[in-house]
Amino acid sequence: MDRRQFVLSGLALLAPRTSFAASATIEIFPNEPIGTISPDIYGHFTEHLGGCIYDGVWVGENSKIPNIGGIRKELIDNLKRIKAPVIRWPGGCFADSYNWRDGVGPRDRRPKRTNFWANTPYLEKAPNGPQKYEPNEFGTNEFAHFCKLAGAQPYFAANLRSLKALDFYEWIEYCNSPAGTTTLADLRGQGGARDPFPVRFWGVGNESWGCGGNFTGGEYAVEFRRFAEWVPRYNVDLAFIASGPNSADYAWTHDFFHKLVEKGENTLERVYGCALHYYCGTTGKGNAVDFTVDDWYELLAKANRMEELVRNHWQIMGEVDKERRVKLVVDEWGAWHKTDPSIDPSYLFAYFPTLRDALVSGITLDIFNRNADKIAMANAAQLINNIHTSFLAVGEKFTVTPIFHVFDMYAAHQGGTSVRTIVSAPRLGQSSADGLWGLGGSCSLHGKRAVLTIVNPDTSNAQETQIAASGTRISNVRATVLTSNDIHAHNTFEQPNALKPSQQAVAASGSPLVYSFAPASVTRLEFDLA
């Protein structure tokens, strides 16, 4: 008898006869912890790309749009709601040509520069403006202020490709040196921030395998050692994040770690995390709202590949880092579609995320939860008006997207203990699904309260499921469900609530609990364990 047969037979003995039709099982093991789910797994990413910063985050202090010190107020309010823990800035590829000194001091004296993305064919059609020619109105002080308002920690991505190690050193000094102690602290004060921010998270370069320098893993390891050596700390527990691999470039990870320790394994102590980037893009039309059922399954199967990437890179890291001092940081992830033609071309890569993108989010966040022992941080790309966005804003118009709702639902996992959970359901039969499971999810414990999140990718069929918690009973169940009869459902400025979660009463209790997961859904079940 295999494991699944054993679980099914045990559940059958306990279940009421009306539950025999259940096609799936979920078994939770409260006494088998995986690790604490870092709140930072639910982080975000902002880049000077399209309308993300200008008209997204930054509207200016004199704008008619409600703002706090130039930051869009509605964005701040919603970030507080989802308990956004950390936000990465200023890129992305923009960071690889960004000089932090351009974005400090009086705004009217800051230089204008050509944006890294200005030559993108789609953006070339747009009129001149801040998306093409960077005014540097939004710089270090403004970003730090934004994070403080939102209740998030700032995560700075430093320019390793075109600046020197000394510039990195001095940016840390600018951000973290105490008031009145250094010339750069005085310069920070002139921008309105007398006290240090302080900044803990520092990315030492970005995508150094590509736009960040086109290095090999070994070449980048030498650069990392040089940048991270002897930087000022000012009583801040600095966390340096190394530029890691692109998707399944396992050779990069291998070469970086082996080269990094050539001068001794103590070098690993300077690495808080190794960054992994993975986007699950669309093929064919590539339109976010115009897709077939096969397109739906193909994208969700691509999203599910994140688990393979996390586990394989983790295994390679362990060849050198046997004590597991370095964690993974997935600081760019999401579904990447073409720019929606109905949106101003200045808003490069902006589109209206649908229910499909919500399921991509649920699949990915569940993977992070299940690998809580491996992942220290993740940052969805990007926060507003861009790839895999949680928010859309044009002028005074503003809406949350289905992706926001998933982050809101999954925020309940933050700080909980991820526990081993076996989800058994028939795999999807469509060839485009590439063997994708019929149900997937994760479970976390918060004292005697459990949070279980489940994705049902099947567009047509509900999954009646028996849910059991080993050695205990389930009671006081509450359900929150995000779904729609239309898999293309999405929010717009005219219909901001076209797709939102619903609360559902669950009368049953005990062990096992029988629950039917709706087709094409993301579900959060919260319940007590006896």
Could you tell me if 383 and 487 lie in one domain?
no
Q: Which of 392, 414, 436 is the last residue in one of the domains?
A: 414
Residue 11 confidence (pLDDT) above 60: no
Could you tell me if 9 and 93 lie in one domain?
no
Could you tell me if 519 and 398 lie in one domain?
no
Q: For the chain, what percent of residues have pLDDT higher than 90? A: 88
Please write the tens of the pLDDT for every residue from 182-225: 999 999 999 999 999 999 999 999 999 999 999 999 999 999 99
Could you tell me if 445 and 349 lie in one domain?
no
Span of 17-21, 171-175, 446-450 with lowest mean pLDDT: 17-21
What tokens appear for 509 in the block? Answer: 């209790």
Residues of the domain holding 512 = 3-36+418-529
Pairing of strands 463-469, 521-529: unpaired
Could you tell me if 368 and 429 lie in one domain?
no
Residue 1 confidence (pLDDT) above 90: no
Q: Report residue 140: phi and psi, to 5°.
A: -60, -50
Query: Which among 149, 38, 146, 42 is positioned nearest to 404, based on CA atoms?
Result: 42
Residue 6 confidence (pLDDT) above 70: no
Q: Which residues contact 368 (CB under 8 A, 6 or more apart)?
A: 37, 41, 330, 375, 378
Mean per-residue pLDDT, 489-511: 90
What tokens appear for 196 in the block? Answer: 């240090």
Bridge partners of residue 28, in order along the sequence: 421, 469
Could you tell me if 93 and 10 lie in one domain?
no
Q: In whole angstroms, give the CA distance from residue 206 to residue 212.
A: 5
Model confidence band, residue 37 (pLDDT cutoffs 50, 70, 90): very high
User: Residue 26's domain is classified under what CATH number?
Assistant: 2.60.40.1180
Please write the tens of the pLDDT for every residue from 98-132: 999 999 999 999 999 999 999 988 888 888 999 99
Q: In whole angstroms, give the CA distance from residue 493 to residue 180.
A: 47
Could you tell me if 111 and 157 lie in one domain?
yes
Q: Which residues contact 470 (CB under 8 A, 6 or more apart)?
A: 27, 28, 29, 30, 31
What is the set of active-site residues?
Answer: 207, 332
Q: Which amino acid is at 284?
A: G
Q: Which of 397, 414, 431 is the last residue in one of the domains?
A: 414
Q: Which of 414, 439, 455 is the last residue in one of the domains?
A: 414
User: Residue 339's domain is classified under what CATH number?
Assistant: 3.20.20.80
Please write the tens of the pLDDT for every residue from 263-276: 888 899 999 999 99
Could you tell me if 400 and 517 lie in one domain?
no
What 3-state class would DSSP assign to 399?
Answer: strand
Q: How many CB atoms lie within 10 A of CB 96?
A: 24
Predicted pLDDT of residue 21: 61
Could you tell me if 351 and 470 lie in one domain?
no
Please write the tens of the pLDDT for every residue from 375-386: 999 999 999 999
Predicted pLDDT of residue 441: 98
Please write the tens of the pLDDT for every residue from 61-100: 999 999 999 999 999 999 999 999 999 999 999 999 999 9
Could you tell me if 98 and 18 lie in one domain?
no
Q: In whole angstroms, give the CA distance from residue 514 to residue 479.
A: 13
The pTM (predicted TM-score) of the whole model is 0.94
Q: In whole angstroms, give the CA distance from residue 142 to residue 391.
A: 19
Could you tell me if 31 and 122 lie in one domain?
no
Q: How many CB atoms lie within 10 A of CB 440?
A: 22
Pairing of strands 133-134, 113-114: antiparallel
Residue 349 CB-half CA count within 13 A: 23
Distances (CA, A) of 362 to 75, 306, 312, 427, 434: 22, 12, 21, 18, 18
Total residues found in the chain within this entry: 530
Domain count within the chain: 2
Predicted pLDDT of residue 505: 83
Q: Report residue 222: phi and psi, to 5°.
A: -65, -45
Could you tell me if 201 and 54 lie in one domain?
yes
